[in-house]
Amino acid sequence: MDKPTRVARDSLGELRIPAEAYYGAQTARAIENFPISQLKLPRAFIRAQGIIKWACAKAHEQLGVMDSKKAGAITAAAEEVIAGQLDDQFAVDVYQAGAGTSQNMNANEVIASRAAELLGGERGDYSFVHPNDDVNKSQSTNDTIHVAMQIAGMELLAHTLDPALAALQQALERKAQEFSGIVKSGRTHLQDAVPMRLGDEFFAYATNIKRHRQWLEQAAANLLRIGLGGNAVGTGINTPPGFAQLATSYVEQYTGLNFQLAENPFTFNQNPDEVVLTSGVLRNLALALQRIANDLRLLSSGPRTGLAEIELPAVQPGSSIMPGKVNPVLAEMLNMVAYQVQGCDTAVAQACAAGQLELNVMMPVIAANFLFEIQILATAVQAFTDKCVAGIAANEQRCAMYAEHSLSLATALNTQLGYDTASKVVKHALAKNLSLRDAGIELNIPEATLDQALDILKLSQTIPRHMNPAPDGIVHSTPGEFHPTGDFPEAGD
């Protein structure tokens, strides 16, 4: 049995849409025109659209250009969008009309229909609240879609990704402290190098995450500059005086994030460069995570034919044919996410380069890829931290064995014997399959000299620098809150 329909109208004429739909004719045409991927812009973006419509209605009411009854209905409907109660009504494909006109109209139509219901009318009856004249008042696709992706990006960064990275940083620091007394062989060029502490290796990972968080915070500050009120090209056409500042302040109030008005609305409409900048930092973060994941896979390789210096938690069987095999699946997952993020960043960069004159019409695909990379980084890092890093165990005996048998321990002989003599000891040890100490004895080097020079505990001790290490040798940090200010010096400062 066919579902009931109703007649919807737009400037192109009439068409029938599902009777229960809150969206209208323009959304329905987009659904019909773009059955491309079945991918939709994410929840965070729809929430951001709701925040924008809420903020604009509040500003119009305060400025006296919209009556309180209508503004109240719009804000109430927008709050339902923000809360996710109407997500099933946002049905436009990611790959849609340029700039995101269909996506903007989807929000306008849904909010207008729901506001009509709240005022005692029926969904689709625009005599109560009109999607263009009221919900979209003082706005354009060209500014609101750009603003929505920056609001959504900032909320995801502040509330999902940075907390996940902070937890990873802390987990790595805890492992650094736990492993601070374990000596292992360093490796450069994948060849034996001088001894080091396993804790120092893990603290290097933690510090790298810390600085990527700082870089991300610096880049994200640019997302706080939004161009509400610039309207179609940046002139602010059809907007009442004071609207841009007031609407922006309502966005700041709702989100609790320090959103401010963009310095130049023309620049804002033309260039989604803030997103491209932040996406590039996310790509670099993905590369850092990829490197850590690869290191953990190498360090845990084995258990009998690899390095096996650490053991990762066993979370699932690793083979459909080899019994008892366990694979580093969380690290492998993180690698896959890192590759996907790099692909998303490439799409963002290329789409940004497609801007022309007063507008970049590729914003829907920019938004989709930008928000997707934040989302998958956050969830992947959380899983990696909780199910892998937190449960890593060290194989102390294996680490010590490698450290004691590394021929690069001969580096410590340089200061007492000279490079050439130390090289002879290495060659003799390699030829006779001896330890460096035994090779040195055969070459008549005093045992006291060998014992002093080849003390792996002493050789692996970190040399104090400006970082003022804690008593356990590990520098601890407390990840702070993610709070980019968006305060930038004026030109000439």
Which residues are marked as active site?
Answer: 189, 319
At 356 the three-state DSSP class reads: strand
251 backbone dihedrals φ, ψ, rounded to 5°: -60, -45
Residues 6+ apart with CB under 8 A from 122: 116
Contact predicate 23/16, CB 8 Å: no
Query: Cα separation of 50 and 156, whole Å?
Result: 16
The label of the residue with tokens 């925040």 reads 51
Query: Cα separation of 7 and 15, whole Å?
Result: 6
Here the tokens at position 163 are: 């907390």
Angle (CA) 322 328 331, round 5°: 150
For residues 115, 118, 120, 123, the Cα torsion angle rounded to the nearest 10 degrees is 50
Query: Cα separation of 234 and 252, whole Å?
Result: 21
Give the torsion sign (CA, 355, 346, 153, 76): positive
Query: Cα separation of 380 and 436, whole Å?
Result: 44
Amino acid at 468: N
195 backbone dihedrals φ, ψ, rounded to 5°: -70, 155
Here the tokens at position 131 are: 């999607």
Contact predicate 267/248, CB 8 Å: no
Query: What is the CB neighbour count within 10 angstroms for residue 357?
Result: 8
Pick the closest to residue 142 from 229, 67, 22 (CA basis).
229
Residues 6+ apart with CB under 8 A from 20: 3, 4, 123
Query: Cα separation of 136 and 407, whole Å?
Result: 72
The label of the residue with tokens 């692996």 reads 460
Cis peptide bond N-terminal to 364, omega within 30: no
Look up residue 120 and give its DSSP letter.
T
Here the tokens at position 471 are: 């008593």
For residues 459, 464, 469, 471, the Cα torsion angle rounded to the nearest 10 degrees is 60
Here the tokens at position 211 are: 């600085």
Burial class (CB within 10 angstroms; exposed 0-12, middle 13-18, buried 19+) of 433: exposed
